[in-house]
Amino acid sequence: MFWNFKNTRAEEIINKFIVMKHNLKARAKLEPERKVAGNTSLDQVLHANIARLTGGISPIALMQAYADWSQHMLLSPDKQLALIEKAVNQWSRYLDFHARSCRNPHCDVCIEPLPQDKRFSGEAWQKWPFVGIYQGFLLSQQWWHYAMTGVNGVSRHHEDVMSFVMRQLLDVFSPANYILTNPEIIDATVKQHGMNFVRGSLNFWEDWQRIISNQKPVGAEAFEVGRNIAVTPGKVIFRNRLIELIQYSPATDKVFPEPVLIIPAWIMKYYILDLSPENSLVKYLVEQGHTVFMISWKNPAGEDRELGMEDYRRLGVMEAIKAISAIIPKHPIHAVGYCLGGTILGITAAAMIRDGDERLKSLTLLAAQFDFTEAGELMLFIDPAQINLIEHMMAEQGFLDTRQMSGAFQLLRSNDLIWSKIVRNYLMGERRPMIDLMAWNADATRMPYRMHSEYLRQLFLNNDLAEERYCVDDRPVSLRDIRIPVFAVSTVSDHVAPWRSVYKIHALTNADVTFVLSNGGHNAGIVSPPDHPRRHHQIATHDDLDAYVNPDDWQKQATHHEGSWWPCWLNWLQHYSGDPVETPGPGAPRRGYKPLCDAPGTYVLEK
């Protein structure tokens, strides 16, 4: 044999790696707080450290997308010629605009910003030379979008990734982000004699100190859980290792017999639906004669790493249903699920109906998805390479941290959540007043390693639920088993659960679906009290026996309403409820559900 393996340097290198691996395992035993699920490996250590450096973004996923795009672009002469032609046309339009603006400063621009892009909407931006600066930027942005998309042979996912990455890179160089190219900053500097920079420096220092000391943003301390938010009266009547179940005190002499169970997403604290008294959905329901229960999820730590999706279904939703059925027996439940809570509610309902369990009266799904093939820009972070990196990062610490989650969401709306904030806070020297919804958004929770891995792989990556491969009790569940009435709410500007993705509930179930499309985003469109001055929505009910209507046709046909969707939902709930009865007391001590403490409970206060 021409290769004498025993006498080579390779054997020595391999032995060193084996020793290193044993050392890593020994270290894991000595440091139980960092012990991972399964055996510690070199892959895991390497990937976890890469994730820390990149903020959880997989460089392999980015390189795969770039390789796919660049190689196909190299072999696409038609696309290359089209890009050259587009560049020439854009330069021609740009020069023509400058010629026209010399004669008429108020002439039409050559390109309009996208509807959601508010960076250049101010009057100062429409004056020379700034109008020319931002017009050039928008034309460049348009050209690069054209370059990243429509290349024959590139996968849709890689095309989306490249388009997203290029948009992020271009946004760094937006003229709105720099002092000399932003007329609003220049104007503020002149009028304030530079004091905006002094205040901005102080703002930056204050924010930096709060970040490194892991404190909430400025102004969030004005909103305290149990003092001025999450203050609807109630009692915690059940607690296990994953949830506290809150039963809210009735506000009317009689109540509808069917209780309402609200299942919030566990990615954030439950009280988004019980914020300030003036915009609390819980308070609105109890004042209209409903008995309301709410799940408050525990904030998991490293020791909760092995909690999975089945634990959230069994210890969370099913235990809550069991408790409510003991407190208010013989009456089915109106179940409400928000975002991820709606997804687990759909899984639970399908399994219950499959097994002949009739304890659910209706389902209300708030910005909840079941088919993840069109789950918006979050899918940019979902592919095997990306999930592999996230899993190794979570495995080392046992959970996905709040900062690691928030980074991805901020990138999806970088103009609003990153760059405009930097300009406003540090260059303009201004602070946006803190509101209860923003304070709640800063009060995030962690997610266990196993649950988040299962959620990403089974639901997002493999779409097992919609394709009837998702198993409960070792048997697949089908959403088509759901035949009880469904009220589904989506929002126009939702970047987490796009409304067309939420709309797929029509095709996935055999239920009569009342579908609502509200203005606003993922959170603000749901927290929509009746007296909100800028709310409107569309609504229509689809009988399961009727022909399917695609989302665009539905949007053209659905009835428009000014104001909040909450009253429409209240009427829908009352339609499926019985005649009012005497109000129940808190808990059921004789059945093992005695009041444990006052709302909002203890889990919501855990950091």
Measured at the alpha carbon of residue 226, what is the angle toward residues 224 and 231, in degrees to the nearest 5? 120
User: What residue type is assigned to position 550 of the chain?
Assistant: N
Closest C-alpha to 418, from 208, 184, 141, 177:
177
Are residues 245 and 603 in contact, defined by beta-carbon separation less than 8 angstroms?
no
Main-chain dihedrals φ then ψ at residue 240, nearest 5 degrees: -135, -165
Secondary structure tally for the chain: helices H, strands E? 22, 17
**Residue of 102, 339, 471, 568 with catalytic role:** 339
Catalytic-residue membership of 339: yes
Query: How far is it, in rounded angstroms, from Cα 467 to Cα 478?
Result: 8
Dihedral sign (CA 575, 581, 585, 588): negative
Closest C-alpha to 346, from 484, 213, 252:
484
Are residues 493 and 520 in contact, defined by beta-carbon separation less than 8 angstroms?
yes
**DSSP string covering 179-244:** GGG-HHHHHHHHHHTTHHHHHHHHHHHHHHHHHHTTPPPTTGGG--BTTTBS-S-EEEEEE-SSEE
- Look at the block and give the residue holding tokens 């340097």: 9
Alpha-carbon dihedral angle through residues 45, 48, 54, 58, given to the nearest 10 degrees:
100
Residues ≥6 apart with Cβ < 8 Å to 481: 350, 353, 354, 510
**What SS3 class is residue 72?**
helix
Give the residue numbers marked as catalytic. 339
